[in-house]
Amino acid sequence: MRCLPLLLVLTGCIEGWSSEASDRDVRLPRGSGVEVIAAGGAQIEHLEWFDLQVDDPAIATAALTDRHTHVRIVGKGEGETLVRIRYMADELVVATHVDPAAIVHLAIEPAGVTTALGAMAPIRATALDTTSTFVDVTAQVAWTLDDPSIARVEGDRVRGMAPGQTTLHASLDGTTAEVTLAVHPE
């Protein structure tokens, strides 16, 4: 019996994210993908001997790449499914676990915050996730200031407490953003 070696290579727009994977198990956020190298990485020459089956295509899709050396598995919906890769007489079953979309980028708006002493200025945090969707995460981020004597975060606004300049940080699920915040006298 020949075994199909399995190697997972993370692809897509996920910076700093790593897949929890074993030889026959992948976990990925919705909207992202992994590539499985089968048949020792050799090009699959007899496509008529190759077959892919996804038990629940609402959860994941699988397709042979243009190189004919990889199978790309993409998380479509949250849940678990099996991806069956068959080549000649061999079969590889990959348990695929798709989690909620992961944040890949976080931004604070406006790009530079300015307010007067005692006044309030609006702030907003926006995330880009693995489904290429922008989401307002203002209420979910953890807001911090390098110098909390300069300003104070109050929900979706900052209040100028003393003249000066500091850095406003937002963080969510390991992703961070920062902007300069300036408070000027009235």
Q: Residue 102, SS3?
A: coil
Instruction: Retrieve residue 63's tokens.
Output: 């397709």
What pLDDT, in 10s, does the model give residues 53-99? Answer: 999 999 999 998 888 778 899 999 999 999 998 877 788 889 999 99
119 has a pLDDT exceeding 80: yes
- Of 45, 80, 99, which marks where a domain is finished? 99
Assigned domain for 13 exists: yes
The fraction of the chain above a pLDDT of 90, given in percent, is 65
Residue type, 137: V
Residue 2 lies in a domain: no
Last residue of a domain, one of 99, 114, 130: 99
- Structural domain count, the chain: 2
Q: What is the pLDDT of residue 49?
A: 78
Q: Tell me what pLDDT residue 134 has.
A: 95
83 and 76 Cβ atoms separated by less than 8 Å? no
- Do residue 13 and residue 91 come from a single domain? yes
**Which range marks the domain in which residue 157 is found?**
103-184
Indicate which CATH number applies to the domain containing 89.
2.60.40.1080
Distance CA 175, CA 102 (A): 10
How many residues does this entry show for the chain? 186
Tell me: the pLDDT tens digits for 132-160? 999 999 999 999 999 999 999 999 999 99
d(C-alpha 178, C-alpha 118), whole Å: 22
